[in-house]
Amino acid sequence: MREGSAPNFAPPVEEGIVFTFEDESGDKVNLEFLGLIIHNDRRYGFFYAIGDGEEAGGSGEVTILEVTEFDDAVLVRREGRLTKTNIKTLPYPGFPTDMQAQIMVLSALADGSSVITENIFENRFMFASELVRMGADIRIESHHAMIHGVKGFSGAQVTSPDLRGGAALVVAGLIADGVTEVSAIHHIKRGYEQFVEKLQALGAHVEHATVPDPVIY
CATH number at residue 107: 3.65.10.10
Residue 140 pLDDT class (50, 70, 90 cuts)? very high
Question: Cα 44 vs. chain centroid, distance in angstroms?
Answer: 17
Say whether both 45 and 151 belong to one domain. no
Q: Is residue 212 part of a domain?
A: no
Say whether both 24 and 71 belong to one domain. yes
Q: Is the pLDDT of residue 56 over 50?
A: no
Q: Is the pLDDT of residue 13 over 70?
A: no
Q: Is the pLDDT of residue 17 over 90?
A: no
Q: Is the pLDDT of residue 63 over 60?
A: no
Say whether both 49 and 134 belong to one domain. no
83-87, 119-123, 154-158, range with the lowest pLDDT:
83-87
When pLDDT is averaged across residues 56-70 and rounded to a whole number, the result is 60
Separation between Cα atoms, residue 198 and residue 41, nearest integer Å: 28
Q: Is residue 216 part of a domain?
A: no
Q: Is residue 217 part of a domain?
A: no
Separation between Cα atoms, residue 175 and residue 114, nearest integer Å: 19
Q: Can you give the residue range of the structural domain that contains 156? A: 86-201
Q: Is the pLDDT of residue 83 over 90?
A: no
76-80, 97-101, 143-147, 191-195, range with the lowest pLDDT:
76-80
Q: Can you give the pTM of this predicted structure?
A: 0.69
Say whether both 92 and 72 belong to one domain. no
